[in-house]
Chains A and B, each alone.
Chain A
Amino acid sequence: SYELTQPPSVSVSPGQTAKITCSGDALPKQYAYWYQQKPGQAPVLLIYKDTERPSGIPERFSGSSSGTTVTLTISGAQAEDEADYYCQSADSSYTYVVFGGGTKLTVL
């Protein structure tokens, strides 16, 4: 089955830039999406179609894509950005949705 691979954890100092990667063989052909999930809360869409940001999402969140890897960048990380981040995409035939395993971002 198709898989998306994320690092389990990423640490960043306040005000610095954090990058969270997501790798998958179908990513050159399929869009990627990013969600933020804080403890006890539902996920929130951060980035759609690789690079688009929904209204209401701070500009410090951005997405990029290169080959089989997509990247979520948080520029000027803040304490409130501590959360789990999940990438999501689909297999090359749109048969099913797949999520990455999630990355825990620590801001310290």
Chain B
Amino acid sequence: QVQLVQSGAEVKKPGASVKVSCKASGYTFATYYIHWVRQAPGQGLEWMGIIKPSGGSTSYVQKFQGRVTMTRDTSTSTVYMELSSLRSEDTAVYYCARGPPGTPYWFDPWGQGTLVTVSS
């Protein structure tokens, strides 16, 4: 079955970077897009951007431009999301989610989520 398995929880200090992984299985990795969505504690869902595994092209929400980098390793069917210059407001659960190629964008399934805590 299609599955996205994410790396474990992280605790980081303000100003540091975090890199979250998302390993895909059960389908042809290059065919589908991978999105990143985050959810601050008690808050709603926020889309961060997308990576297209076939060629590695990315598109980021303007809010995160300059701080986020999404990459992929086709040999292991794994996508990475790195967020730098962390601040307390970045404390959230970060989800990867698969999406069909092309637009419109939608998400199915989702990874289990990775809690990133930013605290001094």
Contacts and interface: CB of A to CB of B under 8 A. Distances in A.
A98 B95 contact: no
Contacts of A30: 104
Max chain A C-beta neighbours (<10 A), residue from B46, B104, B105: B104
A86 B44 contact: yes
Interface of A is mostly: strand
A86 to B, nearest CB: 6
Contacts of B103: 90, 94
B27 interface: no
A contact residues, range: 20 to 34
Interface in A7-63: 30-31, 33, 35, 42-45, 48, 54
Interface of B: 35, 44-47, 61, 95, 97, 103-113
Interface of A: 30-31, 33, 35, 42-45, 48, 54, 86, 88-90, 94, 96-102
